[in-house]
Chain A
Amino acid sequence: MSEAPSSEPRPPQPASVMVPPGPEAVPLVPELLISDLLRYGVLISLSLVTLGTTVTFFRHPDYLVSSEALERLTAPHPVPHGLADVVAGAMAARGQSFVMAGLLVMMAVPVMRVALSLLIFRQQKDRLYVAITTVVLTLLLVSFLVGAAEG
């Protein structure tokens, strides 16, 4: 895609590079760690969603021909909305439960990103940002609890 990858200008790396102990010390750049977390989290989520959708169409061949099924699917109807329901469905190889599991992974990605940031700030001994990040993480977890209490 790019014609000259070698001459591509590289932004300078940030000063805050952490080197973990060990013989094969690879420098850990916070930006790269966070970027990888986001990237792989999304990839796992989308794989589950795609797998689930494929399974659904294999198990319901009528979805390929019948337009009646669509009305049933887009009208209000109960959706699994407890963690236990989703896990049970995935165990029974129900396609839509795989999709739901993928969506839950997607929802968990930002929470994990904040948790990772907390570890990074702690390693950098940045106490002000450790405090800020802890509050953000607490608020996020509270919001999930509020949702659960309401549901």
Chain B
Amino acid sequence: MTPFLFTFVVLGFSVGAGLLGSLLGIGGGLILIPVLTLLLKVDIHYAVGASIVSVIATSSGAAAAYVRERMANLRVAMFLELATTAGALTGAFLSGRVGGRGVYLVFGAVMACSALVMLRRMNSTQVAPVPEDALADRLGLHGSYWDESTGREVGYRVTRPLAGLGLMYVAGTVSGMLGIGSGALKVPAMDLTMRLPLKVSTATSNFMIGVTAAASAGVYFARGHIDPFIAGPVCVGVTLGAWLGSRHLMAKVNASWLRALFVCLLLWVALEMLRKGWTS
């Protein structure tokens, strides 16, 4: 394979990863890293470095659309970014100190748990009332969004902001350690714990991922792990895919179908991570 062809192959895979990532509220890094390392034989460090920049690209590209449609909750995002950036810093510190095996095992377990929780909630159709929360009122976190499928504005209330903050700290740490956006952890934290609607959770997660990833990208850049030859086409492809996804698919995709797809992906990634932790 020539470098020219390689650039286009990477570009193609990146478009696919960006498309899927934008629909699920994840950065696409989870899909890209295995493709780059296993299929295209790229050194793992460069794959992770390219992934982290692509994560920013996905987030910013898709978030531009979500913010315009007022699907992302900017106040929730800013409040939770307190925890994700602090977590990303912790993760960057820890990445040099903790062995890869432990990280993979913990990561796999956390993902499997959140997949199972989401699966359980998918079966229960009745919606429990959202408990009152004084801090959420004080922070003005409640909001509303325009629901395309029913054609009306849907209001929602937010609860347990501190629990959300704690989970976001964990998500940020994972992001800093592994060079992924960790939207797979952010979406359940908002959706299940803070009770934001799934579409709002996905949009807000996408919006926040850029800031979390930027916090760890600085470290990867300084280490020389962001290689323009690989990160360049990845960045362009992923943004293109994410733009297509958020522009033309998001409004048409049914929420329960989206959730089912998301649960499948979570379980697959969890197994992959556990296997990697077990065998390494």
A residues apposed to B, CB below 8 Å: 9, 11-12, 14, 30-32, 34-36, 38-39, 41-42, 45-46, 49-50, 52-53, 56-57, 60, 63-67, 69-70, 73-76, 78-81, 96-97, 99-100, 102-104, 106-111, 113-114, 117, 128-129, 132-133, 135-136, 139-140, 142-144, 146-148, 150-151
Contacts and interface: CB of A to CB of B under 8 A. Distances in A.
6 contacts: A100-B228, A113-B60, A128-B139, A136-B81, A140-B215, A151-B224
Contacts of A108: 214
B269 interface: no
Contacts of B233: 53
Contact of A139 (B43, B45, B89): B89
Contacts of A114: 78, 81, 211
Contacts of B6: 70, 73-74
Interface residues of B, number: 69
A70 B3 contact: yes
Contact of B235 (A49, A60, A76): A49
A38 B67 contact: yes
Q: Is the interface of B mostly helix, strand, loop or mixed?
A: helix
B222 A143 contact: no
Q: Is the interface of A mostly helix, strand, loop or mixed?
A: helix
B215 A74 contact: no
A57 B88 contact: no
A106 B210 CA distance: 9
Nearest to A10: B146
Nearest to A76: B43
Nearest to A48: B232
B1 A143 contact: no
B4 to A, nearest CB: 5
Given A139-B215, A146-B218, A147-B218, A53 B7 contact: yes
A107 B218 contact: yes
Given A63-B3, A70-B3, A113-B210, A11 B85 contact: no
